Structure formats: C-alpha cells, structure tokens
C-alpha cells in the first residue's frame, strides 16, 4: 500500500471536509491518516493516531475482537458489499459510546487504503433504548389492567395483536391473524351487535367504543371493552383501525357487588330508621297505658277481687316487658349512628363494667379474671356495652351451685390490623346447632320463666363489633362452658 504522504492535497482536503470522524486504514487496521473530526469525537490528536491501530479508539475489552472482524471484512469482501458496522468507541478519557463504522473506497492514488467513516450512535441508541423501555412499561401497564392493543389493516385484512392481547384471549402467538380470527372469539349472543358496531364505525369514519362478550377456547366467557381510532387515505377511505381491548370481566363483577352492597346498606339504614321511629312512637302510648294501670291500681285496687288483681298485675308486667323491649330496640337502632372514634383503654372499660355490675357480681359470687388488654381506636360507650353484655350473659347462664368464673384476654391479630378478644366462662354452654342463631335480634334459646331476657344483648354485641369492622363468634360445649371471640380492627 502507498504511503499517505503521496496523496494529493486535494484528496486530503476532501477527507478533512467530511462531517464525520474519518480515519484511513490498511488491511491490518493500522491508521495512516485521521481528520480533525476524530479529535472532536474521540479526544485524540489526529497526528498522534498515525501508525497506531484502530484498537486505540475501541475499549480494551472489545478492541481485538472488533478490529479482527473489521479487518477480515476488508480482506475477504468487496468493499461494495460491506455493511455498516456498529462498534464500541472509546474516548481518550475512558468513556465508552456506540459508534457506526462505514468502510468506503478511496481514489486509486491511496493505493488500496480504505476510509473508515465513524459516526456517534449514542443518540440513536439512547432513543432505541428509551423506546424499548417505554414498550416494556406499556406491556407492564397493559398486563396490570388486563389490556392489550391491536391494529387492523382493512386493505389486507391483517391484524396485529400485542403480547398482552394474546393473554386476554387465551391464545398462543402462532399463525397469522385476520379479522376473522378476532371474530371467531365473539360470543354467539353478541355477533350481530359487534358486526353492527364495526360497520357503523367504518361508515362514520369514527370508532364508537363498545363492550361485548368473548368465548374462549376453554369455555370461559369474558367481557371486553374496545376503544379505537380510525385512519383514512387521501380518498377518505378507511384503511386502518388501531385501538385497545381491555378485559373488564372482574371490574363489572366488582361494580355489581358494589351496587348490591350499596342497595343493602340503603335498605339496612332504612330499616334502622324505621325501627328507631317505630319504637320511639310506640313508647309514648305504652307509657300512657303504664301510667293508667298505676293510677287504676292506686284508685281502685282495694276494691278489686283477687282474680281481677291478678289480671291487672299480668297486664302491668306485660306492659313493663314491652317497655323494656322497645327501649332495647331503640338502643339497637342507635348503635348504627355515626360517631367519632377515640382512644379507648380496654383495661379501664372492663374496670368500669365490673364496677357497674358489682351488685350482680357479688350476689352471684362471680369471679372475673382479666389479662392485660390493649388500647384501641374505637367507640368507648359501645365497647363498655359489648363487655357488659357478654359478662352479664356469662353470669345469667351459670350452672347452679357453681361459682361463675369469667376470663377475659386478648392478643394482637397476625395480620397486625387489630386485636382478637376472648371471653371464657364455665356456664351451662350452648348447643352447637344454636351457635349460628345467638347473634340474631330477638333470638332466644330459653323460655322467659327459665332465663329472663329479650334477645337483644348478643345482637347488640354483633352490631358493636361490626361498627369496629370486626367479627364475633362463639364456641361452646354444653355443661362445660362457652368462649366468645371478637375482633376489633384499629
């Protein structure tokens, strides 16, 4: 090969005018000349590169292999067949960056030397990487919301689906897709509707989004939501549709559940308001009856026969019982009224309950054992009523001639969302078949002559626990005792 010094000034000026970094190399990769753009791209003095190989401009970890491949191309292939090669470049400060190398022939006086025109590919590579990253994010986002995107070329009838759309349809990515492929999944009930929506969109040159069912190969039925955009050519003919397809099956189920829950909540509120108003209004005439019974007894009781007195006493007891029942119903209805939560020390609440029930506890010689209890975020008055009702139940349903023993304890829930409370007693127990009934309003397991009550205590307990977003249940063994459990979320 000729020495570069024999090349005319005109040809060297031509190399200097190239907008890209350019080096003249031989078939061994040795540099014979470098233009001034090399300094700008690599930071090297162009004159200082003469006599060195291209490895100087390539990171050491890639240098030898990349140069060998490039040199072998120069030796073995006609230059007209050489393709652009993307390599790693190495700035003088050690910074690596992608470069594209294009080998081109030079005039004959260069004696067979080749020009390697080198351009910085950083921006292009960054854009490509960013596109790849955004595509990954798009696929990830589509997967989260059960969505995929599609493209339909009306000229060829070819259809392109994204990876996630294949998942929505439960289809493997194999074989070419046509519009008929998609249509084969449309549920038989929706075929006519889908056909009409597509035809309308084409006629209007505007995509009208719609929902329809699809039938998967495994027999599952899904509901999808189609949204799209229509493109036309210069003749205003529809040539392409693109859009998204989202699996909304679970969304619709959740919406249905929310609607049902909302209806139930409204009905529950309505019933509670009715119970409150009805019991409130019933109490006034009942109090009038009670007062008249007392007045009648005071004015005429002395002149009544024993049988008449017995009738009057029975009426009075029934009226008193009705008054207590209505009062209990009022209290039950009031439990749903929204209040502000506060910090509640359950240790102090139980102390107050024991103090309030001291007369009953002493009379029945009951023993109450309390383990350390938590401080919660809740409703203090309701928590007082909750503990009081369960303790009173344990004392009421005690075994004859056996000291009632009641043990109250708690532990933090495994989920960390609140506390599990447990109240054990050694009473008469509850038949297993009745455990599911005891928290229903007005549900009683015993006759009034045996155990007095109105069937409201445990119903109130259930409502109080639900106010705290918890659950209540019981375990029991007849003749051994009962254990009441409830959770309080904080």
Q: Is the pLDDT of residue 459 over 90?
A: no
Domains recognised in the chain with CATH numbers: 4-120 (3.30.450.20), 145-247 (3.30.450.20), 258-334 (1.10.287), 342-489 (3.30.565.10)
Kindly indicate the confidence band of residue 351, based on its pLDDT and cuts at 50, 70 and 90. Answer: very high
Q: What are 392's two structure tokens?
A: 């009173």
pLDDT tens per residue across span 171-218: 876 666 788 888 888 999 999 999 999 999 999 999 888 888 889 888
Q: What is the rounded CA–CA span in Å between residue 460 and residue 472?
A: 11
The pLDDT assigned to 1 comes to: 42
pLDDT tens per residue across span 404-413: 999 999 999 8
Cβ atoms of 479 and 428 closer than 8 Å: yes
CB-facing half-sphere around the CA of 452: CA atoms within 13 A: 5
The pLDDT assigned to 258 comes to: 63
The pLDDT assigned to 81 comes to: 47
Closest CA to 382 of 332, 419, 430: 332
Within 8 A by CB and 6+ apart from 356, the residues are 388
Number of C-beta neighbours around residue 366 at 10 A: 19
Helix (H, G, I), strand (E, B) or coil at 142: helix
Q: Is the pLDDT of residue 141 over 70?
A: no
Q: Is the pLDDT of residue 74 over 90?
A: no
Q: Is the pLDDT of residue 119 over 80?
A: yes
Helix (H, G, I), strand (E, B) or coil at 226: strand
Q: DSSP string covering 166-218, please?
A: HHHHT--S-S-EEHHHHHTTB-GGGHHHHHHHHHHHHHHTS---EEEEEE-TT
Number of C-beta neighbours around residue 349 at 10 A: 22
The pLDDT assigned to 337 comes to: 57
Least confident segment among 105-119, 373-387, 426-440: 105-119
pLDDT tens per residue across span 462-476: 988 988 889 999 999
Give the residue-averaged pLDDT of 293-302. 84
The pLDDT assigned to 16 comes to: 86
For 289, 388, 403, 469, the CA distances from 371, given in Å and listed in that order, are: 47, 16, 19, 23
The pLDDT assigned to 166 comes to: 84
**Alpha-carbon torsion angle 211, 216, 220, 224, nearest 10:** -20
- Provide the H-helix boundaries in 205-345: 249-300, 306-334
Would strands 147-153 and 158-161 be described as parallel, antiparallel, or unpaired?
A: antiparallel
Helix (H, G, I), strand (E, B) or coil at 402: coil
Q: What are 262's two structure tokens?
A: 């909302």
Closest CA to 466 of 344, 356, 332, 349: 332
């Amino acid at each position: 090969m000729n020495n570069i010094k024999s090349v005319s000034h005109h040809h060297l000026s031509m190399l200097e005018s190239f907008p890209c970094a350019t080096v003249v190399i031989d078939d061994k990769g040795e540099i014979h000349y470098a233009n001034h753009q090399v300094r700008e791209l690599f930071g090297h003095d162009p004159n200082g590169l003469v006599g060195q190989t291209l490895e100087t401009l390539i990171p050491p970890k890639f240098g030898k292999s990349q140069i060998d491949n490039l040199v072998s191309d120069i030796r073995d292939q006609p230059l007209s067949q050489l393709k652009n090669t993307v390599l790693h470049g190495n700035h003088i400060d050690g910074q690596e960056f992608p470069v594209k190398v294009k080998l081109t022939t030079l005039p004959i006086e260069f004696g067979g030397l080749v020009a390697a025109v080198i351009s910085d590919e950083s921006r292009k590579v960054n854009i490509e990487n960013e596109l790849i990253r955004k595509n990954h994010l798009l696929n990830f986002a589509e997967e989260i919301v059960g969505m995929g995107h599609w493209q339909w070329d009306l000229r060829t009838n070819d259809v392109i689906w994204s990876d996630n759309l294949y998942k929505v349809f439960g289809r493997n990515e194999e074989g070419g897709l046509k519009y008929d492929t998609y249509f084969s999944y449309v549920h038989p009930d929706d075929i006519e509707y889908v056909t009409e929506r597509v035809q309308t969109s084409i006629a209007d040159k505007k995509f009208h989004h719609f929902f329809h069912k699809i039938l998967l190969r495994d027999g599952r039925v899904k509901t999808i939501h189609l949204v799209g955009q229509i493109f036309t050519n210069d003749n205003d003919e529809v040539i392409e549709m693109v859009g998204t397809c989202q699996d909304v099956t679970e969304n619709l189920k959740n919406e249905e559940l929310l609607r049902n829950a909302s209806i139930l909540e409204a009905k529950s509120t309505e019933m509670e308001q009715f119970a409150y108003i009805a019991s409130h209004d019933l109490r006034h005439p009942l109090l009038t009856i009670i007062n008249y019974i007392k007045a009648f007894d005071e004015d005429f009781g002395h002149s009544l026969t024993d049988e008449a007195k017995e009738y009057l006493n029975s009426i009075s007891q029934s009226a008193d019982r009705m008054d207590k029942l209505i009062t209990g119903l009022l209290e039950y209805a009031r439990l749903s009224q929204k209040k502000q939560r506060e910090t509640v020390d359950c240790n102090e609440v139980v102390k107050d309950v024991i103090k309030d029930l001291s007369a009953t506890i002493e009379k029945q010689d009951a023993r109450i054992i309390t383990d350390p209890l938590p401080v919660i975020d809740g409703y203090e008055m309701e928590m007082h009523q909750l503990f009081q009702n369960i303790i009173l139940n344990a004392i009421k349903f005690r075994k004859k001639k056996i000291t009632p023993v009641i043990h109250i304890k708690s532990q933090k829930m495994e989920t960390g969302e609140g506390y599990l409370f447990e109240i054990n007693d050694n009473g008469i127990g509850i038949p297993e078949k009745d455990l599911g009934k005891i928290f229903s309003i007005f549900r009683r397991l015993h006759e009034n002559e045996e155990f007095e009550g109105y069937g409201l205590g445990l119903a109130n307990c259930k409502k109080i626990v639900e106010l705290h977003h918890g659950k209540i249940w019981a375990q029991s063994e007849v003749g051994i005792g009962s254990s009441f459990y409830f959770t309080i979320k904080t």
